[in-house]
C-alpha cells in the first residue's frame, strides 16, 4: 500500500465547487464536487424553489455531467440501478441531520459499515471502482452517479479521462455531485483511503483562474478542468 501521494487526473469536465476537501472527520482524503452558480445555488431555479420544492433534475447544474476515469485502469466494480428521488434541499438536509443525531440510526449505520459484505448502495448510490494499471493496489472510488448512466462494466479496460458515467444524486446525497477518493482495496468497506494529487486543474482566485499542478483544491474553492476528454469513450 502506497503512502506517497499519487498523481491522478481530475475526474470531471468544466467548473466545479469543492464541497468537501478530505479534511472533514469521517471524510478523510475524500472529495465532493458540486456544480454551483455564483450564489452557491445548485439549480437554475429561484432560491426558495430550490430550498422548499423538489426541483426536477434537468434544472440541476451538475446533473448528467460526465464522470471521467482518473487513470488508465480496469473496472473492478460497477453498480447501477439505484433511482434518484428529487426532494427539496431542506428536506434532504433534515433527513441527514435526523440520521446523524439519532442514536438508533447511528448504531444501525455502524453495524452496516462493520460488515464488509454490506450493500452500500444506500450510501454510495450508483458507483464505480476502477483499479489502476500503473500502481498496484490502488483503486478509485466514484459515487452517486446518475441511474442508468454507467458506460462500463466489471472487467472493462478504461483510459485516463475516459467518460465512465454521469453525475447524479443517488444514495446519500444532498444535490447532484461526485464523491471521489483513492483506496487500497476494491471493496469500499474493506480498505484504507490513500493520499493523492490532481495532475492539473485551475482554481479561481480573486476573479482570475490560476493553473495548479500536482496539487489539491480546498473546501469552498471553485475549480475547473484543463485536460481533454479521452476520445476513446
- pLDDT confidence of residue 231: 76
Find out whether 183 and 31 touch, Cβ atoms under 8 Å: no
**Cα–Cα distance, 2 to 194 (Å, whole number):** 7
**Cα–Cα distance, 202 to 210 (Å, whole number):** 5
List the beta bridge partners of residue 204.
Answer: 209
- pLDDT confidence of residue 113: 65
Find out whether 67 and 145 touch, Cβ atoms under 8 Å: yes
- pLDDT confidence of residue 233: 53
Q: Of the candidates 7, 31, 6, 42, which has an alpha carbon nearest to the alpha carbon of residue 221?
A: 31
Architecture of domain 6-224: Distorted Sandwich (2.70)
Q: What is the pLDDT of residues 38-67, one digit of tens each?
A: 999 999 999 999 999 999 999 999 999 999
- pLDDT confidence of residue 91: 85
Q: Where are the domains positioned within the chain?
A: 6-224
Q: Of the candidates 141, 128, 33, 148, which has an alpha carbon nearest to the alpha carbon of residue 83?
A: 148
Find out whether 74 and 131 touch, Cβ atoms under 8 Å: yes
**Cα–Cα distance, 210 to 154 (Å, whole number):** 37
**Cα–Cα distance, 229 to 233 (Å, whole number):** 8
**Cα–Cα distance, 115 to 133 (Å, whole number):** 28
Find out whether 12 and 69 touch, Cβ atoms under 8 Å: no
Pick out the chain residues at pLDDT < 70.
1-3, 99-101, 105-106, 108-109, 112-114, 116, 232-233
- pLDDT confidence of residue 100: 66
**Cα–Cα distance, 179 to 177 (Å, whole number):** 7
**Could you tell me the pTM of the whole model?**
0.91
Amino acid at each position: 500500500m502506497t503512502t506517497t501521494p499519487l498523481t491522478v487526473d481530475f475526474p470531471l469536465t468544466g467548473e466545479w465547487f469543492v464541497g468537501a476537501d478530505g479534511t472533514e472527520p469521517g471524510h478523510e482524503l475524500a472529495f465532493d464536487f458540486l456544480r454551483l452558480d455564483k450564489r452557491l445555488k445548485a439549480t437554475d431555479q429561484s432560491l426558495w424553489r430550490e430550498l422548499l420544492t423538489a426541483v426536477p433534475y434537468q434544472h440541476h447544474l451538475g446533473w448528467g455531467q460526465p464522470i471521467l476515469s482518473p487513470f488508465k485502469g480496469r473496472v473492478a466494480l460497477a453498480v447501477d440501478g439505484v433511482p434518484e428521488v428529487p426532494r427539496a434541499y431542506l428536506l434532504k438536509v433534515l433527513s441527514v441531520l435526523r440520521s446523524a443525531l439519532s442514536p438508533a440510526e447511528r448504531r444501525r449505520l455502524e453495524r452496516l459499515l462493520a460488515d464488509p459484505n454490506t450493500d452500500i448502495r444506500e450510501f454510495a448510490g450508483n458507483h464505480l471502482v476502477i483499479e489502476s494499471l500503473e500502481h498496484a493496489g490502488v483503486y478509485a472510488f466514484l459515487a452517486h452517479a446518475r441511474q442508468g448512466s454507467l458506460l462500463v462494466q466489471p472487467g472493462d479496460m478504461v483510459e485516463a479521462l475516459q467518460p465512465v458515467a454521469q453525475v447524479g444524486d443517488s444514495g446519500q446525497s444532498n444535490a447532484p455531485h461526485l464523491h471521489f477518493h483513492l483506496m487500497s482495496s476494491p471493496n469500499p468497506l474493506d480498505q484504507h483511503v490513500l493520499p493523492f494529487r490532481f495532475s492539473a486543474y485551475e482554481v479561481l482566485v480573486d476573479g482570475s483562474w490560476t493553473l495548479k499542478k500536482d496539487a489539491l483544491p480546498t473546501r469552498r474553492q471553485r475549480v475547473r478542468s484543463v485536460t481533454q476528454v479521452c476520445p476513446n469513450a
